[in-house]
Amino acid sequence: MHWNSLSDFLAMGEHGLYVWGAFGMTALVMLLETWLTLRRQRAVRQRLARQLAAAMRENAQENAREKTGESGQGDAA
């Protein structure tokens, strides 16, 4: 360990701006990608589940309609 203090560490021997600018952006975009990817994955799952549930409800209604009211237009075999 060759840092005398925290400010010494942060200063990086006059190159603080460049070193932390590089490390900071790396951390930022990796965290951002992680957050966005996890959020997107969750959104895809929820959207597909919603669509599937809606399709299943529609199917069920159609089946019920076919069973109860044989009269009308929906007379297809």
Partner 1 sequence: MQFAHLYKFAAPAAFYPLAGRLIPWFWGLAALFGAIGLWLGLFVAPADFQQGQGYRIIFVHVGASWMSMFLYVVMAFWAAIGLAFNTRLSGMMASALAPTGALFAFISLWTGAFWGKPMWGAWWVWDARLTSELFLFFLYIGFIALTRAIDDPRRADRAGAVLALAGVINIPIIYFSVKWWNTLHQGASVSLTKSPSMAAVMLWGMLFCALAMWMYAIAISLIRARGIILERERHADWVKALLTEAAGGH
Count of residues for the chain? 77
Q: Which of 57, 61, 39 is nearest to 49 (CA)?
A: 57
- Rank residues 9 and 62 by Cβ distance to partner 1 and give the closer one: 9
Q: Which of 9-17, 57-65, 67-75 is the region at the interface with partner 1 (rule: CB under 8 A)?
A: 9-17
Contact 12, 19 (CB under 8 A): yes
According to the binding rule CB under 8 A, does residue 37 interact with partner 1?
yes
Most distant pair of Cα atoms in the chain: their distance: 89
Q: How far is the CB of 8 from partner 1 (least distance, A)?
A: 10
Residues that bind partner 1 (CB under 8 A): 1-3, 9, 12-15, 18-19, 21-23, 25-26, 29-30, 33-34, 37-38, 40-41, 44-45, 48-49, 51-53, 56
